[in-house]
Amino acid sequence: MSAPVTAEVAAIKNLKQIAREEFILPGTAVCGGCGGLEGLRLAAKVLGSKTVYINAAGCFTLLAVYPYSPFKGSWLYTTMGGAAAAAQGVRDALDVLMARGKLPVEDDVQVVVVAGDGSTYDMAMAANSGAIFRGLDFWYFCYDNESYGNTGVQMSSATPYGARTTTTPVGSAARAGTEHGKKDLFEIWRAHQPAYLATVSPRYPVDLTNKFLKAKGLRGPKLFIAHASCPTGWLFEPKRSAEVAKLAVQTGIFALKECVGGAVTHTHIPRRRKPVEEYLRGQGRYAHLFEPTRNDAALRLIQEQVDRYWEAAAKAGAASS
Ligand SMILES: Cc1ncc(C[n+]2csc(CCOP(=O)(O)OP(=O)(O)O)c2C)c(N)n1
Ligand code: SF4
Ligand SMILES: [Mg+2]
């Protein structure tokens, strides 16, 4: 059921138009420079306080430690695989309360899953598929730090080729560290025909805000994959987090895009893409690609993959804002 959807909210044009009020307060236990938290903080400014966050086990479980919570809104902790199922239960309960007149329909309480990539790309794949297929009216914020960060940076199926993790160390048998490619979650989710699907980066706050504003006017699954620069797991200084996030977009490694009604639109096209090396070099997880000897083959492969992606996007007629 849910409350009636609101009309589409007008897009913002600049940073000054982003709400000043904070809905996730500072002073949490997550690492300094956590890009995932910055993305969620910006998203929360659109989601507001009438929210129930359903948080799958992961780094962000550290956000709320009983009896303290930084959220202006409710928070529920679930298993890694169970957040979307919990979201269904919470949505149903809210709908029953509204139907019985015990919760004002105007409150329009939103259900928001917050989950990492290990949860989203791996363990919760089936539960998420079911929830999206059922057309559940919920939001899904996947902060993608490309590893099982909370338990010591193990490889997930979101870990990109060439990145070193604690379970994909560099050795004579695996010179590149992780030797498989990153799972294309965007395309997997797109095949489910959700109401809204987008990638977001905390370093592009206007783009992020506009995507959440657009989704606000839609009922059904509203899915977000957020680039989550992770100083602790990717091995760089926390103060460089914003720079790393920006380079991901400028090199074309992380594409900013959205999908409504099946059609994909790139919301930002880096016209002169920087070489991928500029993104990779500053992160310890890729250091073995440069030292003690340069792994030209691996670097070429990563660059070619990015080039191929953007060539295909251009052929498909990727629109730009
Ligand atoms: C079924 C199951 N296996 C293992 C764990 C232990 N565990 C807790 S958090 C976590 C890492 C989660 O990774 P991700 O979803 O990417 O979130 P991140 O830690 O990176 O924020 C793991 C493996 C668990 N909670 N449940
Ligand atoms: S390990 Fe990475 S994703 Fe997890 S809290 Fe720290 S910076 Fe954020
Ligand atoms: Mg993770």
Are the CB atoms for 137 and 2 separated by under 8 Å? yes
Select from 213, 167, 222 the least CA-distant residue to 192. Answer: 222
- Which one of 147, 230, 240 would you pick to mutate in the ligand 2 pocket, going by the greatest count of ligand atoms within 8 A of its CB? 230
Left (φ > 0), alpha (ψ -120 to 50) or beta: where does 73 sit? left
**How does DSSP assign 190-209, residue by residue?**
HTT--SEEEEE-TT-HHHHH
Please tell me the distance between residue 121's alpha carbon and the centre of ligand 3 in angstroms: 9
Q: Which residue has the tokens 């309480």?
A: 109
Q: Domains of the chain by range and CATH?
A: 15-315 (3.40.50.970)
Q: Residue holding tokens 């902060």?
A: 143
- pLDDT truncated to tens, each residue of the chain (321 aa)? 444 455 567 899 999 999 999 999 999 999 999 999 999 999 999 999 999 999 999 999 999 988 899 999 999 999 999 999 999 999 999 999 999 999 999 999 999 999 999 999 999 999 999 999 999 999 999 999 999 999 999 999 999 999 999 999 999 888 999 999 999 999 999 999 999 999 999 999 999 999 999 999 999 999 999 999 999 999 999 999 999 999 999 999 999 999 999 999 999 999 899 999 999 999 999 999 999 999 999 999 999 999 999 999 999 985 543
What is the rounded CA–CA span in Å between residue 259 and residue 196?
6
Task: Tell me the ligand closest to 151's alpha carbon.
Answer: 1
Look up residue 22 and give its two tokens: 């904070």
270 CA to centre of ligand 1 in angstroms: 33
Ligand 2 pocket mutation pick from 24, 28, 59 by most atoms within 8 angstroms of CB: 59
pTM: 0.96
Expressed in angstroms and rounded, the spacing between residue 117 Cα and the centre of ligand 2 is 12
73 C-alpha to ligand 3 centroid (Å): 23
Cβ neighbour number for residue 231 with a 10 Å cutoff = 21
d(CA 219, CA 191): 18
Tokens of 228: 């989550």
